[in-house]
């Protein structure tokens, strides 16, 4: 028996939302010099966390609402909208969560509220028109993922700008790669609805070549970042060595393993594994910001 509450949490991808909130908490604390942990509980920061959480949840809901027919082919066992949660309720929740997110952001300031509104509109635009287009939808999602970090600098201007940009670019690049992998994973269902994703337009072989180029570029940027870490952060040499060990074991080695998996990927299961690995690499990379202020 399917429980509505459990399905609602699955619908809003609560695990992903927790990761988004944790990323913002990490960025705020570890990339802001001299910030005490008690400041994590200040009202405006909590409002920003909740606002981001709600607008992202609304985005996941509208995405599933628009994708019901596709998901019945690509992942029929995971379809929630139209089953335990009606389409009408899904749309209602989408609207309410977006309104709440914008109102909470307005309590911080008008600039943050405008940015949250732009995010909400972009997520609707993506789900309605851009999700299954040639690369545009992938780039938009990657930008919105990076924006959850970049908005932190707008919220707290004395954050380390270099750190925000480094991790924002990393989040953008890894998300773009993962979105292309997911499109390749969903190739069968997308073809039935005449979508224009990268693997449909160029074919799986060409898409894998593009993935390799993008991924190798990210590896190069990551190694360059590791060599310049001391100059960017406030960390000591001892922390730098620990940072290098962390990055090597949990980020760079998995990145090189992913090169092999991209080259050998063939069936849906292979691309599902790639999607999970790319998510792990992004999370491990983001967590490395804990080394910045020690």
Predicted pLDDT at 2: 57
Predicted pLDDT at 3: 62
The neighbour count for residue 105, using CB atoms within 10 Å, is: 28
Contact yes or no for 157/109 (Cβ under 8 A):
no
What radius of gyration do the chain's Cα atoms show? Answer: 20
Which CATH architecture does the domain made up of 1-133 adopt? Orthogonal Bundle (1.10)
Predicted pLDDT at 84: 82
User: Which fold would CATH assign to domain 160-294?
Assistant: 1.20.120
Predicted pLDDT at 95: 96
**Domain spans, the chain:** 1-133, 160-294
Tell me the pTM. 0.92
**What are the per-10-residue average pLDDT scores of the chain (294 residues)?**
76 92 94 88 95 96 83 74 86 96 96 96 91 88 94 90 94 96 87 84 94 97 93 85 96 97 93 95 95 85
Predicted pLDDT at 234: 80
Predicted pLDDT at 252: 97
Distance CA 227, CA 230 (A): 8
DSSP character at residue 133:
S
Distance CA 205, CA 43 (A): 50
């Amino acid at each position: 028996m399917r429980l509505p509450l459990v399905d609602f949490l699955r619908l809003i991808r609560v695990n992903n939302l927790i990761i988004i909130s944790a990323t913002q908490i990490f960025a705020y604390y570890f990339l802001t010099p001299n910030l005490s942990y008690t400041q994590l509980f200040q009202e405006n920061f909590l409002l920003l966390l909740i606002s981001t959480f709600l607008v992202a949840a609304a985005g996941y809901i509208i995405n599933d609402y628009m994708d019901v027919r596709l998901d019945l082919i690509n992942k029929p066992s995971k379809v929630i909208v139209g089953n335990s949660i009606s389409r009408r309720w899904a749309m209602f929740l989408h609207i309410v969560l977006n309104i709440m997110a914008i109102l909470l952001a307005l309590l911080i300031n008008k600039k943050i509220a405008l940015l949250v509104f732009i995010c909400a509109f972009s997520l609707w635009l993506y789900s309605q028109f851009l999700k299954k287009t040639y690369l545009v939808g992938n780039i938009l999602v990657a930008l919105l993922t990076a924006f959850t970090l970049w908005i932190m600098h707008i919220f707290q201007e004395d954050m380390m700008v270099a750190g925000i940009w480094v991790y924002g670019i990393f989040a953008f690049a890894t998300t773009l790669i993962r979105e292309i992998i997911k499109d390749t994973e969903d190739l069968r269902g997308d073809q039935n609805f005449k979508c224009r994703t990268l693997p449909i337009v160029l074919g799986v072989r060409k898409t894998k070549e593009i993935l390799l180029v993008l991924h190798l570029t990210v590896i190069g940027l990551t190694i360059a970042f590791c060599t310049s870490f001391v100059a960017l952060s406030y960390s000591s040499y001892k922390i730098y060595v620990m940072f290098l060990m962390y990055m090597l074991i949990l980020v760079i080695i998995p990145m090189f393993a992913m090169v092999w998996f991209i080259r050998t990927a063939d069936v849906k299961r292979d691309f599902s594994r790639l999607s999970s690995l790319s998510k792990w690499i992004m999370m491990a990379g983001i967590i490395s910001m804990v080394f910045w202020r020690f």
